[in-house]
Structure 1
Amino acid sequence: MTTFTFADFESILASHIAPDDWQKIRHLPITGICSDSRAVKNGEIFTLLSVNPDIKDKAKAFITPLSSAAVLSEFSKAEMDIDDAPMPIVYIPNLRLILGDFIAAFLQKQQEISLPKIVAVTGTNGKTTISQLIAQLGELSNTPSAIMGTAGNGRIGNLTQSTHTTSEVIKVHEFLYAMAKQHVGMVALEASSHGLHQHRLQGVPVQVAIFSNLSRDHLDYHTDMDCYAAAKAKLFDNTYFTHLHHAIINIDDTFGQKLAENLSHSAMTVWTYSLKDSQADFFAQNITPSLDGTTFELKTPFDANPIKLHSPLLGRFNVANLLASIAGFLAIYPNKFQELPDIIRQLHGARGRMQKVATPANFGCFIVDYAHTPDALVQVLTSLKAHCTGNLWAVFGCGGDRDKGKRPQMTKAGLDYADQVILTADNPRSENVLAILNDMQVGMTCDDHYKTQIIPDRKEAILYAIKHAKADDIVLIAGKGHETYQEINGVRYDFDDVKIIQQYTQTN
């Protein structure tokens, strides 16, 4: 096996390292690169990023025992209170701006290989569905495709559970390299605001970037909505993503309109999509939704005449998700346009995204969805209301240790669009469920309380809805979607909304 040294990556690293430090490490061998101190193997390089400022106070404790060949750190030794260490500690204050390039080059040195085409999706809602639909379009048109995001990483039907929507930068590059070795032709990945802000996609050759929408979320992390929007906009910056040639933008969204305008003078191709504006490049008209899917006509830059499509996906908002997916797919494979009517008929929604749960006829219609923001909840409930001949139920909670300001907004969304509301637990994490539910009830009137049940135990809340909903009712179980656990005080317990519905309705 060929051994590489830091000198082999001089063009990437040297200008960011103090000359004395560079001389100390330039001839050190590199056997691997790792950002998890618990997983560092003998001779690997350990990288320490300043994602969390508190890390510097703990760094000494987990750096000193390492068998690492060297440590590349965004904290100086003085900041970490380290006088002496068994390995060189090299201070690179902007390490995250070059780490992806370093990892990619290291992997290619081991075996040079062409990476898959890469489509990245950002936005508050829709990332998982859009990325999965793009991968399905690829697979159905005989292009091996993979996804990386909230629902898992890998080929469709063979996903490995992910810990983050956008993995840390080393894992992203290792995943893309592994997919290339498996002859995957395209990868659709989710670009979260956290991931973009922390440069987890640094060095990733994104060719197509998609923006779905922007609404309140993650203000426990971002200072305000402007900072949140700025993080999303990074995906469309050619100074970060130099391979970018197409931007796909939802202009039904206010921030999307600004983004499209800002990009209109760039060198990349900008395609817009809309359910409202007929001047958009991809425009859906004559939309006819049902509980069996949606039929619509699609205007594109590829044909003077609209094409008629039938999608099995539920909900008007999923038409918008499909437009984004079609545009992203065609930006990579424009010659596949004629195949669209046939392959779109074969699509299926992402698990836990507007998922209709099969139940006996004497029960209501049950939908499980990941909607965990006020805007997403409104979109789902609005879509379902059009098909509901009885009462529309909404069962949902709010996650603990997250943006508290959206909790009463979630409740208002449920009360405004559902006939019956059950407030319950989501993933309380370290917070008390009752405290979260109290936050959710701020601003509720007497009339609001009359149509609302407060049931802290999520399983009991779901069972209450099942037992009380009539056959012509629609019940939305929102917030957790694809998740198969409930996180309480640092422990993830088995919990699956879909299974709870199926187990009860099939035995009663």
Structure 2
Amino acid sequence: MKIAEFKLSSDIQNKLDQVANLEFNGFAVDSRKLIQGNAFILLKSQNPNATVDLSVLSAYLTQVQDKAAFVLSEVDVLPIADDFDLPIVIVPNIREYLGELIAQSLQHNHAAKLPTVVAVTGTNGKTTISQLTAQLISGAGVMTAVMGTAGNGILPDLSQSTHTTLESFHLHHAMHDFATKGVQVLCVEASSHGLHQHRLQGVPISVAVFSNLSRDHLDYHADMDDYAAAKAKLFDKDLFSRLTHAVIHLDDEFSGLMIDKAKHSKLTVWTYSTTNAQATFFAKNITPSLDGVRFTLVCPFGEIALNSPLLGLFNVANLLASVATLLAISPSAFNDLPKLVAHLQGARGRMERVCPDKTPCVIVDYAHTPDALTQVLTNLKAHCLGKLWAVFGCGGDRDRGKRPLMAKAGLALADKVVLTSDNPRTEKPTAILADMQVGMTCEEHYKTVIEADRAKAIEYAVKNANADDIVVIAGKGHETYQEINGVRHDFDDTVVVKSLLNEDGLD
């Protein structure tokens, strides 16, 4: 195949004119996996502090020169280009076109009908909304796949994921593979990193969902406005030409920005809310219990009573987003909602009750931002007959300003707080814990236990909690490892809790 055969915009066609008529058999982004006849795409590091080392780049090009049909380079390799006997085109903004190039090459080699794509963005709720949406659609008899933090695959079989949003090359290959297997709908999580780095470029997104925005990733984004602008890219039809619907959480303070972007793109805008009856999808008569939440859905399709097995008021909001997305794709599913909702299962590590037949009640959740932790504790406090415990830490090599805010969020709502390690990465856990304690009062110290060993911290909370207490283990959720000094050690909050709850005397 040749790039000249692709249907591309004139600006990228012009940039690739030098190699447009060269034969190649596919793209590769990993020099170790390049095969004879591939076009190699040389990408720079996404670390903003990374420096360009021409000797390293020369080694990459040496590795591929005998196999590659040509090279498209994001990096300026002009000083060394003459050292290699293969065509090299420097395209600094190659990521803005990469997805489309990969998609068209895959279709050329094996044509397949791509699925309808739902993309969910927001600080919290991405995983739950994408998985609930996938479950609802799958329950309606449509083969559905999901890609995100808690796993990738065709429901119900998911494999562990390396990223919230895969790099463009891997995302398109996975999507095309799903298509060849008959997947009709794909639900993906769209992280701010993924949107900013064009990882979703060329993905045929039809429905875009926004859950909320709170402080996170400010080690990457300049400020909250920059963070919000990255999220808002999902509602730009100039970037995603297949968009038809925007589903936006009206209760969030950044909803106006998302709505304006969606309206500018002339999308059908549906809002959802648990507090504002003016929303397109509104939940009223909300009745929570430890068995779930009952409520009445009010929307353009009518009113209908739903009984959700998911804990927490915020999961009502997540469910509203998922129901709206389902109805954007399949309006006829409205009358089936009670049956579909009743069979939902929460995403792993998202408000997950471990050993429901045991006491105390222990919840494992991924909440790792001040807002997410506040939401989890607020929702569970309404269910708690005894004391509310919170066990959590903060990740190393990340936004240090978030650390005391996390501690404050836990102390504001929990009766007892246990501060511990999360993923310390290259930092010392004691240093992270010291940051978390900045500004704490004597009273707050009195209700806090410091235990750097996460397993021991969990054990302390579970063994000291009474039968009518609720213990929340927050921060890692679905993760099955703890990252320490560059090494991922096996560690699963759920496994630790199950072991403790199944010991004699804890039932």
Contact 2:26 2:106 (C-alpha < 8 Å) held by counterparts? no
- Which residue does 1:417 correspond to in 2? 413
Q: 1:41 aligns with which of 12, 35, 44?
A: 35
Q: 2:360 aligns with which of 353, 361, 364?
A: 364
Cα deviation, residue 14, structure 1:
7.1
Equivalents in 2 of 1:236, 1:55: separation in Å?
A: 33
- Which residue does 2:489 correspond to in 1? 493
Which amino acid is 1:64 matched to? T
Indicate whether 1:29 and 2:23 are aligned: yes
Contact 1:359 1:505 (C-alpha < 8 Å) held by counterparts? no
What aligned pairs does 1:88-167 form with structure 2 within 5 A after superposition? 88-167=87-166
Which amino acid is 1:71 matched to? V
- Which residue does 2:60 correspond to in 1? 62
Question: Could you say what secondary structure the match of 1:105 adopts?
Answer: helix
Q: 1:477 aligns with which of 473, 480, 483?
A: 473
- Which residue does 1:298 correspond to in 2? 297
Question: Could you say what secondary structure the match of 2:271 adopts?
Answer: strand
- Which residue does 1:352 correspond to in 2? 349
Question: Deviation string for 1:114-170 (max 9, x for gaps)?
Answer: 111110000000000000001100111101101010011111231121111000101
Indicate whether 1:334 and 2:331 are aligned: yes
Question: Deviation string for 1:328-355 (max 9, x for gaps)?
Answer: 1111111111110111001010000000
Identity of aligned residues (%): 57
Q: 1:313 aligns with which of 310, 315, 340?
A: 310
Consecutive unaligned residues in structure 2, runs of 5 or more: none
Equivalents in 2 of 1:251, 1:409: separation in Å?
A: 25
Contact 2:370 2:402 (C-alpha < 8 Å) held by counterparts? yes
Identify which range, 403-412 or 26-35, moves more after superposition: 26-35
Question: Could you say what secondary structure the match of 1:12 adopts?
Answer: coil
Which amino acid is 2:176 matched to? Y
Cα deviation, residue 360, structure 1:
5.5
| CA distance 1:55–1:41, shift in 2 (3 Å) | farther
- Which residue does 1:274 correspond to in 2? 273
Question: Could you say what secondary structure the match of 1:97 adopts?
Answer: helix
Equivalents in 2 of 1:350, 1:431: separation in Å?
A: 30
Equivalents in 2 of 1:246, 1:102: separation in Å?
A: 25
Indicate whether 1:16 and 2:12 are aligned: yes
What aligned pairs does 1:102-251 form with structure 2 within 5 A after superposition? 102-251=101-250
Equivalents in 2 of 1:22, 1:84: separation in Å?
A: 22
Question: Could you say what secondary structure the match of 2:205 adopts?
Answer: coil
Indicate whether 1:444 and 2:440 are aligned: yes
Contact 1:360 1:506 (C-alpha < 8 Å) held by counterparts? no
Contact 2:147 2:188 (C-alpha < 8 Å) held by counterparts? yes
| CA distance 1:90–1:495, shift in 2 (3 Å) | same
Consecutive unaligned residues in structure 1, runs of 5 or more: none
Equivalents in 1 of 2:270, 2:417: separation in Å?
A: 39
Equivalents in 1 of 2:373, 2:471: separation in Å?
A: 13
The TM-score with structure 2 as length reference comes to: 0.95
Question: Could you say what secondary structure the match of 2:164 adopts?
Answer: coil
Equivalents in 1 of 2:216, 2:286: separation in Å?
A: 29
Which amino acid is 2:72 matched to? L
Indicate whether 1:6 and 2:34 are aligned: no
Contact 1:249 1:260 (C-alpha < 8 Å) held by counterparts? yes
Identify which range, 252-261 or 396-405, moves more after superposition: 252-261
Indicate whether 1:71 and 2:67 are aligned: no
Contact 2:297 2:305 (C-alpha < 8 Å) held by counterparts? yes
Which amino acid is 1:106 matched to? S
Which amino acid is 1:251 matched to? L
Which amino acid is 1:170 matched to? F
Contact 1:399 1:428 (C-alpha < 8 Å) held by counterparts? yes
| CA distance 1:359–1:131, shift in 2 (3 Å) | closer
Question: Could you say what secondary structure the match of 2:417 adopts?
Answer: strand
Q: Any runs of at least 4 consecutive aligned residues in structure 1 with deviations exceeding 4 A, and if so which?
A: none
Contact 2:97 2:202 (C-alpha < 8 Å) held by counterparts? yes
Equivalents in 2 of 1:474, 1:36: separation in Å?
A: 47
Which amino acid is 1:199 matched to? H
Question: Deviation string for 1:429-486 (max 9, x for gaps)?
Answer: 1111111111111111111110001100100100111111111110000000011111
Cα deviation, residue 56, structure 1:
3.0
Contact 2:355 2:501 (C-alpha < 8 Å) held by counterparts? no
Indicate whether 1:406 and 2:402 are aligned: yes
The TM-score with structure 1 as length reference comes to: 0.95
Question: Could you say what secondary structure the match of 1:319 adopts?
Answer: helix
Equivalents in 2 of 1:321, 1:490: separation in Å?
A: 34
Equivalents in 2 of 1:272, 1:116: separation in Å?
A: 24
Question: Could you say what secondary structure the match of 2:32 adopts?
Answer: coil
| CA distance 1:92–1:266, shift in 2 (3 Å) | closer
Contact 1:396 1:477 (C-alpha < 8 Å) held by counterparts? yes
